[in-house]
Amino acid sequence: MAVWTTFWSYFWGTLTVVPFLGFPLVYLSVYMWKRNKRLAGRWAVNITNFLVIRSAVSAYELIWPEAMSAWWWVSCFFLGAVVLLGWLQVKLKGKLSLKKVGFSAWRLSFLWFGLVYIVLFTTGIIKTMGVV
């Protein structure tokens, strides 16, 4: 039992440090299971998005441990993105589809938190190098 606990601990730790490694793992797993490239791609992007958000939050909390929780920033991003995309959709199309707005905010968050993760990862390395 201790072997599995250690394995899962290292596995999740690796996915926290390198969240983009989750994309090929999920893609290959879902493709082998369902034999559908499109479905595998969707699953891989969604799971990788969760991993990237979790990694960005972890990096933020390691760099600034006494700062406000990063989950507040994540919540504010999603709230702001949904409001802005909803307003934009009403202006352009004249009607609001929360499903499309939510989907767009989720996909936009993949790009945003991917960039935030890279910046925080680099900041963490620079900060650590400054201490040494």
Burial class (CB in 10 A: 0-12, 13-18, 19+), 31: middle
pLDDT over threshold 80, residue 38: yes
The pLDDT of residue 130: 77
- Cβ atoms of residues 19 and 51 within 8 Å: yes
Quote the CA–CA distance of 109 and 107 in Å, as a whole number: 5
Domain count along the chain: 1
Over residues 72-101, the pLDDT tens digits come to: 999 999 999 999 999 999 999 999 999 999
| Chain mean pLDDT for the chain | 93
Domain that holds residue 49: 2-131
